[in-house]
Amino acid sequence: MARKASVESPMDITEDKRKNEVELTAIKRAMRNTRWWKVFITVFMIVGIVAPVISIRAISTLQDMGSMLSAKYKEISVDKPGKQAALASVNKWLDTNKGPFRYGTTNLLWDSATKVGSSDEDTGTGKEHTDWWSHQFSLTDLSDGSTRDVTQLISWKNNVATAVGEPTVLPLKASGAGGAQSYTPSGYSRIDQASSFQNVVNAWAKAYIGKDSNAFTVLVGDPNSEHAYQPAAIGTFKNVSINWLVECDKNGQSVPKEQSSDTPPYAAASISITFEPYAAMQDSSDKGSDTSSSDNTGGSTVKTNITVLVKNPTSGNAKIIDWGADGSVRTLRPYANALNKSDVTSANSDDETGGTDSAGTTSQDTQSDDSTADGSKASSGNGTSDNTSDGTSSDGTASGSQNN
């Protein structure tokens, strides 16, 4: 016998169920009476009102992103004052016949620029502001295909860029910024130059320009025996002059007036090194030889400027412990150019660097006054370097000068 289907009793329908059924019936009836074209028109009107607001915000966001990218691009490439002036100066310095790389160079590229300082000069009618920028370039040395880094200091005054001094040639694997102008960092106190400091600079400059990393490492005096230092390996040293010597801390920052000392632990100096580039020999086996060929070089010399950090500058055991682009005092750090010994190769040429004895003293320190071999006689007849013309004598007598 079939089971009779159960029928829900009206008494079992709750108030909530009845309310839901009524609402559902009303919705179905409203949908049957709705004209869908009116719904579409309403949606389009709402979209028409909201879309411009969304578009304005999207355009504003895109514009902000574009401005940020443009500013970043300008920061890293184009809008560095003096780029063209620096490039022109380096190109002139790299002249094939008289430049430092006798085999020639190629692939000269602008890498970056760093603002290294600024100054305000009182002209009588107001302040004249000058910014100092160090532009860095890379190039390929055709003698061995290596990449070399060269920097040029630029002054930016009244929207006019002027090359300052000579370019700086940085050593291989090292990292670290010509006109008649000179540059002295603003806010630094000049200090007296010790009588032995010129000898320190002579020995260091000769080793830096040469290619004996062992002698160069000894002169730096790094307490870490695992460190070695790579010289520029670019030519034969002739002479060196000191442009200025100022007091600073070990990080290249200026020292407050109240903390200034007559015997500061650190100082920064700008030096100009004159050298004769290695000759371009016909025999490829002679590349990089210390012996210059008058047929290929004509005995011409090249000058390069470099800024160095000096430890114990006024004592008899002063050491140059860091170096970099000319004018870039604030980028100097103790032993920042250190490399692992395994990364450095040395020519071990005593003729080039003056050699070292068992005590680590260069032959520069033991030569007689009338035969210095530091090239200083090339610049004047009395056996002294061209310090006066480069402003060193004024530095040496500026005792007690204060910050600008």
| pLDDT single digits (tens) 150-183 | 999 999 888 889 999 889 888 775 444 444 455 6
| Whether the predicted pLDDT of 362 surpasses 50 | no
Distances (CA, A) of 115 to 166, 245, 304, 308: 17, 20, 20, 17
Burial of residue 364 (number of CB atoms within 10 Å: 0-12, 13-18, 19+): buried
Band of pLDDT at residue 10, cut at 50, 70 and 90: low
Q: What is the mean pLDDT of residues 35-56?
A: 79
Burial of residue 189 (number of CB atoms within 10 Å: 0-12, 13-18, 19+): buried
| Whether the predicted pLDDT of 79 surpasses 80 | no
Tokens at 319, concatenated: 């050491």
| Whether the predicted pLDDT of 203 surpasses 90 | yes
Burial of residue 342 (number of CB atoms within 10 Å: 0-12, 13-18, 19+): exposed
Q: Give the residue, 387 or 266, on which the prediction is more confident.
A: 266
**Domain range list for the chain:** 92-282+289-396
Cβ atoms of 279 and 291 within 8 Å: the answer is yes
Euclidean distance between CA atoms 117 and 136, whole angstroms = 16
Cβ atoms of 240 and 340 within 8 Å: the answer is no
Q: Give the residue, 32 or 181, on which the prediction is more confident.
A: 32
Distance of CA 63 to the CA centre of its chain: 32
pLDDT at 22: 76
pLDDT at 229: 93
Give the DSSP H/E element, type plus range, for residue 114: strand 105-122
Instruction: Name residue 106's beta-bridge partners.
Output: 140
pLDDT at 181: 52
Radius of gyration of the chain (CA): 36
Closest Cα partner for 232 from 292, 277, 271? 277
Q: What is the mean pLDDT of residues 2-12?
A: 54
Band of pLDDT at residue 403, cut at 50, 70 and 90: very low
Q: How far apart are the first and last CA of the chain?
A: 117
Q: What is the mean pLDDT of residues 133-155?
A: 87
Closest Cα partner for 201 from 306, 278, 116, 301? 306
Q: What is the mean pLDDT of residues 144-153?
A: 86
Euclidean distance between CA atoms 106 and 139, whole angstroms = 6
Cβ atoms of 138 and 109 within 8 Å: the answer is yes
- Cβ atoms < 10 Å from Cβ of 333: 14
Place of tokens 């966001």: 61
Cβ atoms of 376 and 370 within 8 Å: the answer is no
Amino acid at 137: F
pLDDT at 272: 92
